[in-house]
Structure 1
């Protein structure tokens, strides 16, 4: 047993000496590698290339996917910011329009034409959905002094009259809902003429989208582009309140009198703030003929 132990120990020592020699041989400075070293190095390099190529390809794909994901997120963020910008721009435009409308309402309230009347400012809260039933609802009623048949105007001109009132709201019948039962006494200012033309608004022509004006006892030429104003007869509408502009002048169906089609000065489809005109009017302004708006 002792002989075999010595032999095994001797073998281990010889192996250690050879290993140390190989290590020393491999780490010394040499001009060239041995054939086994070259083979081993080339084999390792080839294996590294085989492994590195698919790994790099997969890595590039993952990187591209991450970039596409980031671009998508950035695109979504930019779309949201653009949508918010457009919404803000729309709100600014609406506020600007509302500011202009309110300014015109204030100017109209301070107008000398309304000195004999008590203006009641109101806002539109609802509009009739039916196109043929032209009404809007305002937020002022009997508690605020609003009564039936009071005139309703905006800063640009007349839009209609109060059709009915409750305690805290009222319904306005717009001019494009007028018929012959809602006629308005008007005058047309004619420059270089001794007297103005007079007549009645008899309703709204839906085909022409204009008010129908019939003149009374006036056969002179009336030009297009002339403005029509309320005459003040009857005490419903203030004198000199702008209604619209004449777009066409012709004869009636019987050829007996002139009629005109009048485009309203106020935009009846875009009404937000109005003035209800309380008719605290001196009776001396009523016409001697006793004709009244109905």
Structure 2
């Protein structure tokens, strides 16, 4: 009797193995349509997933909209504050312009170092090998462009016109490693004169040298063109002081200036014509192309 039950169990085990192998083979064979149990399970799981995901997506979307609304509200407050400041500054600028004109009329002065005339131009070429040195713009001799004119973007000075063709011009950037690429500058707040000479490529900062050792130059002060170089007009934004160090002899200081313009991303520029008469090279006592 025990032998019979043992044989019966063995037979049932073998039959179960055969059925299992058959089911595995059936499930692995290529089919264009799943079986109805598989389809039922998949449809049920999909319906449950859809039932759960839709409310979850709605809640997430609602929370995201609330966050966007809060961010928009905060940005709107900031923009309103800026607009109010801009309106106030515009009023001050107009008042100062009026006072300046009145004073110049009283003194009989009709011209100033800051008098200038901008001309819009677009960058049409840039050599990847000289990305930090030159750009090509779509204005040339026929447009009145001349060598050494200042070139700037809406945020600050980027360089000068190096060469002029009939319809295009080459602009040398302030970030170019050219020893003759020097600009006469003034640090606002301390009324200290210096010269932009060189560019720290690692720190992405301009070097303003020849600042007197006793000058009170500090971080955050604005650097502009002085207009005394004979070519650039006065008041063009160069950048902001981020650090000041004495030179190797301790006789002068060097200011590290963050450029106002982005030398890497330049699309549109303004070519600045100085309206004040330029002194002759012999009067300046310098070679052509040295000081601006």
Same fold (TM over 0.5): yes
> What SS is found at the alignment partner of 1:158?
strand
Which residue does 2:291 correspond to in 1? 293
Deviations along 1:135-168, whole A, 9 cap, x unmatched? 1111111111111111001111100001111111
* Alpha-carbon distance in structure 2 between the residues aligned to 1:235 and 1:118: 16
Q: Does 1:136 align with 2:131?
A: no
Mapped to 2, the partners of 1:261 and 1:239 lie a distance apart of: 20
Tell me, yes or no, if structure 1 residue 215 matches structure 2 residue 214: no
Could you tell which deviates more after superposition, 161-170 or 174-183? Answer: 174-183
* Aligned-residue offset at 1:203: 1.5
Distance in structure 2 (CA, Å) of the matches to 1:141 and 1:58: 70
Gaps of 5+ in 2: 1-30, 43-89, 98-111
Residues 115/289 of structure 1: CA separation in 2 closer, same or farther (3 Å cut): closer
Q: Does 1:119 align with 2:118?
A: yes
- Give the SS at the match of 2:180: helix
> How big is the alpha-carbon RMSD for the aligned residues of Structure 1 and Structure 2?
3.4
Q: Mark the CA change 1:114 to 1:158 in structure 2 (over 3 Å): closer, same or farther.
A: farther
Separation in 2, partners of 1:262, 1:205: 10
Residues 279 and 221 (structure 1 numbering): CA distance in 2 closer, same or farther, change over 3 Å?
Answer: closer
Match status 1:202 vs 2:220: no
Partner secondary structure for residue 125 of structure 1: strand
What aligned pairs does 1:48-67 form with structure 2 within 5 A after superposition?
A: 60=34
Aligned residues: 189
Deviations 1:222-247 (A, max 9, x none): 11111100000133212011101111
1:1-294 equivalences under 5 Å are 60=34, 116-131=115-130, 134-190=133-189, 196-282=191-277, 293-294=291-292
Residues 172-209 of structure 1, C-alpha deviation per residue, up to 9 Å, x if partnerless?
A: 1111005331210000112xx6xx11111111122332
Partner-residue secondary structure (3-state), 1:254: coil
Query: TM-score, normalized by length of structure 2?
Result: 0.57
Retained in 1: the 8 A contact 2:180–2:291?
no
- Match for residue 35 of structure 1? none
In 2, distance between residues paired with 1:206 and 1:229? 21
CA distance in 2, matches of 1:184, 1:175: 9
CA contact under 8 A between 1:132 and 1:177: conserved in structure 2?
A: no
2:174/2:181 contact within 8 Å kept: no
Structure 1 residue 118: Cα displacement: 2.6
Q: Is the 8 A contact 2:114 2:235 kept in 1?
A: no
Which of structure 1's runs of 4+ aligned residues deviate more than 4 A? 57-62, 111-115, 288-292
| Distance in structure 1 (CA, Å) of the matches to 2:277 and 2:116 | 9
- State the distance in 2 between where 1:227 and 1:58 align: 74
Structure-2 change in CA distance of 1:59 and 1:232 (3 Å): closer
Q: Secondary structure at the match of 1:253?
A: coil
Q: Secondary structure at the match of 2:129?
A: coil
Contact 1:116 1:282 in 2 (8 A): no
**C-alpha separation in 2, matches of 1:232 and 1:159:** 16
Cα distance, 1:169 vs structure 2: 0.7
| 1:253–1:121 CA distance, 2 compared to 1 (3 A) | same
